[in-house]
Structure 1
Amino acid sequence: MTAGAPPPVPPPPVLVPPRHVPVVSTSDGRRRSQLDTARARLAVGAGAFGLMFLALAARVVDVSLLAEGQPRVPTTPQAVIAAEPRVERASIVDRNGVLLAASLPTAALYANPREIADPWEAARKLATALPDIDPALLAPRLEGDRQFVYIRRHLTPREQDAVNRLGIPGVHFQRAERRVYPQGHAAVHVLGGTDVDGHGIAGVERQFDARLRQGVGEPLRLSLDIRVQHVLREALGRAITRFEAIGGAAVVMDVNTGEVLAMVSLPDHDPAEIATAPAEARFNRITVGVYEPGSTFKLLSTGMALDLGTTRITGGYDASRPITYGRFTISDFRGKNRWLTVPEIFAYSSNIGTARMVLEVGVPRHRAFLEKLGMTRRLPIELPETALPLAPSARNWREINTLTIAYGHGISVTPLHVATATAAMVNGGVLHPPTLLARDPDDPPPLGERVIRADTSATLRRLMRLTVTHGSGKGADVPGYFVGGKTGTAQKVGSHGRYLRDARISSFTGIFPAHAPRYVVYLMIDEPKPQRDTHGFATGGWVAAPAAKEVIERIGPLLGLVPEPETDAIRSALAITLPGQAPPRPAAAPTGQRQAALPGSERRVAAQ
């Protein structure tokens, strides 16, 4: 600054207008605070929903795109919801999958008497829904201090609904099962039955009870063919009716596997009524009934002698006169009374010739052969009902026993024994135990046990065919099926141990086709009566052979076998002739002349 200069003049002050501060009332402040809080809550809620949607989207992506496509099954039983009520007992089917036995879920009706205020009123109400209930019988059971009383075991859905609508306190439902058999009587002796609690008490129901009660897995598949079963039952029933018999039995078996395709015993019963059926109807003649097999046993006797080499197909025996052994006489029914060749002995069913043939084999080897065929023990089939044959013990098996057993007297076996042995005689000589379980066709064939040579078996097939074309089995012949067979007739033994004069067993054991056997058909008629159109006869050739013919005619096409023309190959396989009378030669007479005891026989032993 210069000396003497006037001081600077300061700039005028800038005037800033005062800021206007609005005046906020107390009520406006509270409203603004609430709005801020609401906005904050909405933001939090929107964020939470956003996270939930993101998690859901991630789960959808994981399941649909990232997972390996395997279904996820809950591991806890509580998470499983069954589409249908579960049954505890598995089904039974035939070899083709046809249902034979099944369990259906039902409801059982029971009561808790402690919860019933007026038993008589409850009984009267229940009778309106279940008309077969007698209130007078039910009411006393609803009284007392018990906690459980069965009213009805099985209710239909309609009956259950009717009872439920009554609304009776103390009356409850319990889950139950009912065993049903869609084929009715057809296979009752095979299937057997169950009791009211679903436990097997007979047949395969009992034999496989533990397996069936598991209720899971595949059904039990039997070897039966229900079509064949129906045919066999109808044919057997007609023969029983025609000849006024008291019963009968029949079986069809695969000769190469032992599988039983059909098994019938008459009379029979409804499998659902097994507990109330009469004993005669429950009796299984195929596996429990033991009978003298008669001349069907000559198949075994002839096969044994040929196989052991004690005779030849070109050999023969003197059948011109009966065999006398002490007080016993062995004769022929309508015999030829001359020397007979082996084919003639078989075709004409000579008791004398067969007895002499087996006598050359000897007692020890005869018994050993029958033991090898299972004729002295129970058959190992999948049924609890089987019988032990009635045969002399080894110590008591004497020469007279060999003589009579040769033609099927003095020994009693089941029809299944005869059918099983027949299969072994014609299938090449291999014994297969009978079975009721179906084999898988892809499995290798069962081994079995060889009992005769293959060439012996081929000779027996020729002899069986000869019996049907020229012998006692003509009634069984079916064109195109080349049936072979052997008839049998045996008198029945009474309770006193003697043969009954007018009571007999008439039977036929057959095979088809004889040149390449596939099946055995055995039929037995119990106590047939002679008829006018059979000229007063009731033998196996008149009674059982025609029934076998009907069976073979009907089941052949079902089993895939069609009638064939007789080709050179078939003719060669079955070639055998009945030679003329051969020059007689001395025959060894039975060595034993002592008074031998023959089980269940009379003085005169003669098979028809």
Structure 2
Amino acid sequence: MGKHRLGLIMLSFTIVYLGLGARLVQYGLATPEITNSINAIPPPAARPDIIDRNGELLATDLNMMSLYAEPIRIVDADEVVEKLATVIPDLDWGTTHRKLRSKSAFQWLKRQLTPRQQADILALGLPGIGFRPEKRRFYPGGATASHILGHVNVDNRGLAGMERYIDRQGLADLMTVGMTGNTPLEPVRLSIDLRVQSIVRSVIEKAMHSYHAEAAGAVVLDVHTGEILAMASVPDYDPNQPSRMLPDGSIDTEYEKGWFNRMSNATFEMGSTIKSFTIAMGLDSGKIVLDSVVDASRPIRMGGFTINDFHGRHRPLTVPEVFRYSSNIATVKIAEMVGIEGHKEFLTRLGLLSRLETELPEIATPTQPPTWKRIHSATISYGHGMATTPLQTAVAAAALVNGGKLIQPTFLARNDEEAAPASVQVLDEKASADMRHLFDWNGKTGSGRSADVPGFHVGGKTGTADKVVNGRYATDLNFNAFLGSFPMHDPRYVVLSIIDAPLTGESGRRLAAYTAAPMIKEIVSRAAPLLGVKPYFGPGQSGLLIGY
């Protein structure tokens, strides 16, 4: 009996040990299971650097650490909160305590800590607390090019501007499958010149404050390649801090209004700058030539309205005089020569009535009457009744001075050869040459004189329009613009400035000639030398060139 009992005991132990051994082998061969959500989080996603046309850094990634907790390993939540608060002053005690008391396996506590904060928390020796590497987007220029670059969220995903465009080109899909960890990515080179961009932003910001305006903006465009060299709109924001918290913990909504890009994502009645396109339409159609005379001696009665000139000459005007004196009456008559359908077709051909195609996601769609009647064609001819974006106004203007080619604009660097497929002939070359003459002449003798810079020959057209407020025209507020080009003896760039509801201007006047035009003068005087534009004072005046 004793031997049998001993044998049964030995057999039992043998079976138990064999079972344990088999189980250990099974565990060793099995695929490890995810025991908490830490392992389920993809590795930190890297984004490509963004650089300007000269290689200057506009956006890059920084390596950061974020704090997380495993609540199931937390012994005393109160103690953990108290100790973390000594390192993280803005820690939300209530939210953090709820996370630590939850039954989950993983909770984010604080994203993107500084290295000093990480070291101090490590010194606390708190169990159940850990760190995970992440990427943080950094914009060295701050707000300088915020509306072009856009910004990202806490997970490094593009939310606006070129950051969002880059995600749409496939980066977001690569991030989703975890293929953008520490892999170096080719930098994205923009058409922006950071030096010119900085000048443009500083000029419009100063103008907005000096003229007590609601907003301001400007753009510089290469007329041969369609490249945007600079574009800014103020108020703006710092993409390093796209949202700002108030002392009470709420979001600063006034600060977030700076996200709105008025140059590409807002439509305005561009006032008398549109007369440039009406006159170009008449020249292109052959209905007028520069020597043509248009009767502007009497107001026009139409649809119960009277169309008059702001500074009327009350006499027949030549086409250059129509442009210089900004005659509403003569401009309406030129539009009537072409006809309603021809008018609409011409503006469509120049891209002023359809949504602009470019990389920037924030692009507004122009507005126009659902059905064009005679009164609509008349008011649109001098800049009322149709709203378009300042950016596409500048793009269309490039065709007026570059030989008649409409070039799809781009925020990515490209050369003349690369721009050729994006170019369409929309205007007769003779009409374009005539428009260059009109821009130049008005820059020397008309309202464009306020924008001229000696040696750089800025030509263009001012536009002063009544501001639309709640669907009605305000009699005491203006929306001002200046549409120009330089140097007019060989145009290379289109420049356009806007200023919304200025309360004052140069010499105390708030018309475009005293607000929008001086902005262009300062932009060109500072930016033209950086763009390689040589001052020119005419043949036989090399001494002046050296003196300048």
TM over 0.5: yes
What is the match of residue 29 of structure 2? none
2:199 & 2:316 partners in 1: Cα distance?
42
Letter in 2 for 1:528: P
- Quote the offset at 1:177 in angstroms: 0.8
Q: Deviations over 1:188-230 (max 9, x none)?
A: 0111111111111111111111337545431111110111011
**Alpha-carbon contact 2:71-2:128 (below 8 Å) kept:** yes
What is the match of residue 542 of structure 1? 514
Q: Select the residue among 492, 516, 519 that pairs with 1:518.
A: 492
What is the match of residue 598 of structure 1? none
Q: Select the residue among 539, 553, 564 that pairs with 2:536.
A: 564
Query: Cα gap change, 1:441/1:96 in structure 2, threshold over 3 Å: closer, same or farther?
Result: farther
Q: Select the residue among 186, 190, 200 that pairs with 2:144.
A: 186
- Quote the offset at 1:441 in angstroms: 6.6
Whether 1:130 aligns to 2:107 is no
Q: Select the residue among 425, 435, 438 that pairs with 1:463.
A: 438
Q: Select the residue among 80, 101, 121 that pairs with 2:59.
A: 101
- Quote the offset at 1:272 in angstroms: 2.2
Query: Cα gap change, 1:443/1:311 in structure 2, threshold over 3 Å: closer, same or farther?
Result: closer
Letter in 1 for 2:438: L
What is the match of residue 10 of structure 1? none
What is the match of residue 282 of structure 1? 259
Q: Select the residue among 143, 162, 172 that pairs with 2:130.
A: 172
Whether 1:361 aligns to 2:335 is no
Whether 1:211 aligns to 2:182 is no
1:444 & 1:392 partners in 2: Cα distance?
33
**Alpha-carbon contact 1:87-1:104 (below 8 Å) kept:** no
Structure 1: 5+ residue stretches without partners: 1-84, 571-608
Structure with more of its chain in helix, by fraction: 2
Q: Which moved more, 1:185-194 or 1:436-445?
A: 436-445
1:354 & 1:288 partners in 2: Cα distance?
28
Q: Deviations over 1:383-428 (max 9, x none)?
A: 11111101123xx111111111111111000001110011011000
- Quote the offset at 1:283 in angstroms: 0.7
**Counterpart secondary structure, 1:153:** strand
**Alpha-carbon contact 2:265-2:362 (below 8 Å) kept:** yes
**Alpha-carbon contact 1:90-1:102 (below 8 Å) kept:** yes
What is the match of residue 74 of structure 1? none
- Quote the offset at 1:444 in angstroms: 7.0
**Counterpart secondary structure, 2:97:** helix
What is the match of residue 236 of structure 1? 204
**Alpha-carbon contact 2:204-2:216 (below 8 Å) kept:** yes
2:480 & 2:474 partners in 1: Cα distance?
14
Q: Which moved more, 1:124-133 or 1:481-490?
A: 124-133
**Counterpart secondary structure, 2:307:** strand
- Quote the offset at 1:243 in angstroms: 1.1
Letter in 1 for 2:507: T
Letter in 2 for 1:299: S
2:195 & 2:63 partners in 1: Cα distance?
28
Whether 1:252 aligns to 2:220 is yes
**Counterpart secondary structure, 1:273:** coil
What is the match of residue 413 of structure 1? 388
Q: Deviations over 1:87-129 (max 9, x none)?
A: 6111111111111111111111010111010111111222223
TM-score (norm 1): 0.76
Letter in 2 for 1:469: K
1:542 & 1:517 partners in 2: Cα distance?
24
The aligned runs of 1:59-98 (5 Å cut-off) are: 88-98=46-56
Q: Deviations over 1:8-60 (max 9, x none)?
A: xxxxxxxxxxxxxxxxxxxxxxxxxxxxxxxxxxxxxxxxxxxxxxxxxxxxx
TM-score (norm 2): 0.85
**Counterpart secondary structure, 1:473:** helix
Q: Deviations over 1:309-335 (max 9, x none)?
A: 001110111111211113111111121
**Counterpart secondary structure, 2:378:** helix
What is the match of residue 326 of structure 1? 303
**Alpha-carbon contact 1:468-1:483 (below 8 Å) kept:** yes
**Counterpart secondary structure, 2:96:** helix
Q: Deviations over 1:123-155 (max 9, x none)?
A: 122222323335455333311312222111011
**Counterpart secondary structure, 2:60:** strand
What is the match of residue 311 of structure 1? 288
2:428 & 2:541 partners in 1: Cα distance?
21
1:418 & 1:137 partners in 2: Cα distance?
50
Q: Select the residue among 223, 226, 229 that pairs with 2:191.
A: 223
Count of residues paired in the alignment: 481
- Quote the offset at 1:502 in angstroms: 1.3
What is the match of residue 160 of structure 2? 202
**Counterpart secondary structure, 1:200:** coil
- Quote the offset at 1:447 in angstroms: 5.3
Whether 1:146 aligns to 2:111 is no
1:438 & 1:446 partners in 2: Cα distance?
15
Letter in 2 for 1:534: S
Whether 1:158 aligns to 2:123 is no
**Alpha-carbon contact 2:441-2:459 (below 8 Å) kept:** yes
1:427 & 1:174 partners in 2: Cα distance?
54
Letter in 2 for 1:287: S
- Quote the offset at 1:440 in angstroms: 4.6
Letter in 1 for 2:390: P
- Quote the offset at 1:249 in angstroms: 1.6
Query: Cα gap change, 1:254/1:444 in structure 2, threshold over 3 Å: closer, same or farther?
Result: closer
- Quote the offset at 1:279 in angstroms: 4.4
2:421 & 2:413 partners in 1: Cα distance?
12
Letter in 2 for 1:211: L
**Alpha-carbon contact 1:293-1:408 (below 8 Å) kept:** yes
Q: Deviations over 1:341-392 (max 9, x none)?
A: 1000001111111111111011111100011111111100111111110112
Letter in 1 for 2:487: P
2:281 & 2:239 partners in 1: Cα distance?
41
**Alpha-carbon contact 2:224-2:402 (below 8 Å) kept:** yes
Query: Cα gap change, 1:413/1:442 in structure 2, threshold over 3 Å: closer, same or farther?
Result: closer
RMSD: 1.9
Identity %: 44
**Counterpart secondary structure, 1:198:** coil
**Counterpart secondary structure, 2:144:** coil
Q: Deviations over 1:435-467 (max 9, x none)?
A: 101015775745511111111111111100111
Whether 1:385 aligns to 2:362 is yes
